[in-house]
Amino acid sequence: MTVLPIGSLAGAQASYEWPEDGFTKIPNWVYSDPDIYRKELEVFYYGDTWHYVGLTCEVPEIGSFRRSTIGERPVILVRHADDEFSVLENRCAHKGAQLCWENTGKVEDFTCPYHQWNYSLKGDLQGVPFLRGALGKGGMPRDFKKSEHGLKSLRIHNEGGAIWATFSDDAPSFEDYCGPDILAEVRHMLPGKPIELLGYTRQLIPSNWKTYLENLKDPYHATLLHSFYITFGLWRADNKSKCVPQERGHSVMVSHNEGKKTSDATSEMKRFRDDLEVLDKETITPRQEFNKKRVGGGWIFPSAYMGIQANTLKMRHLIPRGPNMHELVFTHYGFTDDDAELRRLRLKHANLLGPAGFVSMDDSEMLSQLQHGVGAYPHETSIVEMGGKEIEETDYMVSEVLIRSFYKFYREAMGL
């Protein structure tokens, strides 16, 4: 058991001893401690990891850009040539001001509002006002080289129309970082067909970023908390399913939509409401498509979850915003060859998830309540033993195996 150096901030834990060996007990301080949070940013967001940034369909023309975030660092995704993209640090090389303030747009180049240093779409510094001063006085020293002061450009990877980036020169390739199972999930959702942007939802949830990560590694809650899922059969404990632990914090969790039904398991589901009906049946009736009733998907740790529920396709982007807050940006997409009815269904089923989603609003509220408990009792522990203490693939849902698998990885990566 490792003990990290004592943090300098008031409110930090006095020591970081894990409650016991293994990964079935989680100390509550991982959800609120500022020093732990800072270390997580360094290890998981600015280390040898790949991050979702945006979709190529969001930047359709040369000069189109989209602001994004990796960890807490603002970046810009920009198309700088027909099929070439850059992810640039959104930080002026002069004094560090954020230079791009719009979420999306189209430009010929980037100009920092502060002293108007101007950069190309690839981030090269092109212009510095008063480079040679005014009235023969001032200006930059003669040895100042514009070529040495561009915007930092990140390593990127385009996978089926999604752009991923890393700050690290040492990170493995995107494919190796994912591993075969996760890569298969990404390619299932983005098979290389042209994609189209359908819209966004954004929300701030007042809880630690890992509470959301764990929420999507936790099929156990989904079978109990969500009346909508259980009642209408979109996600139930008695549906065919599997949880597949992965390396590097990734995970795969999938199930099958079998519609409304009763079974032996129904009696355990207090929120099953046999009397509940949806008047607009289309809300819960997906059209059969490529996934063949298979729902769910994978975490591409740490920043993105990709999956399908009904006919809604989205990139869920998880952004940490301090130890006690995270942001979720859902980018809803479809394929350019979708017919009008399928496009309409994708938008309609987007109502299941997101800030006011028939399903997801349960999670947002639950996670903020969770933060109240774990934040106020950092010295206490939580337990993740549902389905046993081991880490192995399961073909059932009443399991916390993916959370155990995550904390095995987390302890090693964080040196805890």
Please report how close the Cβ of residue 93 comes to ligand FES at its closest, in angstroms: 8
| Contact predicate 232/284, CB 8 Å | yes
Q: How far is the CB of 95 from ligand FES (least distance, A)?
A: 3
- Given Fe ion, ligand FES, none, residue 115, with its beta carbon under 5 to 8 Å by kind, binds ligand FES
Residues binding Fe ion: number (CB under 5 A): 2
The dihedrals phi and psi of 130, each to the nearest 5 degrees, come to 60, 35
Instruction: Report d(CA 163, CA 59) in Å as an integer.
Output: 11
Among 30, 75, 76, 92, binds ligand FES (CB under 6 A): 92
**Per-residue contact string for residues 117-136; x = within reach of ligand FES by CB under 6 A:** x-------------------
Residue 101 engages ligand FES in binding (rule: CB under 6 A): no
Pick from 9, 102, 108, 114 the residue near ligand FES by CB under 6 A: 114
Q: Of 115 and 152, which has the nearer Cβ to ligand FES?
A: 115
Member of 38, 73, 94, 343 binding ligand FES (CB under 6 A): 94
CB atoms within 10 A of CB 380: 13
Interface region with ligand FES, contact rule CB under 6 A, candidates 107-115, 139-147, 259-267, 314-322: 107-115
Q: What angle do CA 292, 293, 297 make, to 5 degrees?
A: 95
Interaction between residue 95 and ligand FES (CB under 6 A): yes
> Is the Cβ of residue 15 or residue 116 nearer to ligand FES in the bound state?
116
The answer to whether residues 93 and 150 touch, using CB atoms and an 8 Å cutoff, is yes
Q: How far is CA 198 from the centre of its chain?
A: 18
Confirm or reject binding of residue 115 to ligand FES (CB under 6 A).
yes
Cα–Cα distance, 53 to 90 (Å, whole number) = 13
- 163-222 positions binding Fe ion, by CB under 5 A: 222
Task: Return the one option of Fe ion, ligand FES, none that residue 97 interacts with (CB less than 5 to 8 A, by type).
Answer: ligand FES
Q: Does 363 bind Fe ion (CB under 5 A)?
A: yes
If you write DSSP's letter for every residue of 3-62 in order, what string do you get?
-PPPPSSTTS-S----SSSSSSEEEGGGGT-HHHHHHHIIIIISSS--EEEEEGGGS-ST
Q: Kindly write out the interface string for residues 35-74 of this chain, putting x where it contacts ligand FES by CB under 6 A and - elsewhere.
A: ----------------------------------------
Contact with ligand FES (CB under 6 A) among 30, 78, 112, 182: 112
Given the complex with ligand FES, which of 98 and 227 has the nearer CB atom?
A: 98
Which of 13, 90 has the CB closer to ligand FES? 90
Residue 224, both tokens: 């109990």
CB closer to Fe ion, 69 vs 382: 382
Beta carbon of residue 115, minimum distance to ligand FES (angstroms, whole number): 3
Q: How far apart are CA 30 and CA 116, in angstroms?
A: 42
Closest by alpha carbon to 49, among 415, 416, 409? 409
**Residue 117 site contact among ligand FES, Fe ion, none (CB < 5 to 8 Å, cut-off depends on kind):** ligand FES
To the nearest whole angstrom, how small is the minimum distance from the Cβ of residue 153 to ligand FES?
17
- ∠ CA 250-183-201, rounded to 5°: 70
Q: Is 319 a residue that touches ligand FES (CB under 6 A)?
A: no
Nearest-CB residue to Fe ion? 363
89 binds Fe ion (CB under 5 A): no
C-alpha span between 231 and 236 (Å, rounded) = 9
Q: How far is the CB of 180 from Fe ion (least distance, A)?
A: 27
Burial of residue 25 (CB within 10 Å: 0-12, 13-18, 19+) is middle
Q: Which of 43, 62, 97, 342 is the binder for ligand FES (CB under 6 A)?
A: 97
Q: Name the DSSP letter for residue 351.
A: G
DSSP string, 230-284: HHHTSS-TTS-EEEEE-GGG-EEEEEE---S---GGGGG-TT--TT---SSGGGG
Q: Quick one: 84 or 365, whose CB is closer to Fe ion?
A: 365
272: CB partners within 8 A, 6+ apart: 227, 230, 231, 262, 266
Residues that bind ligand FES (CB under 6 A): 92, 94-95, 97, 112, 114-115, 117
Residues that bind Fe ion (CB under 5 A): 222, 363
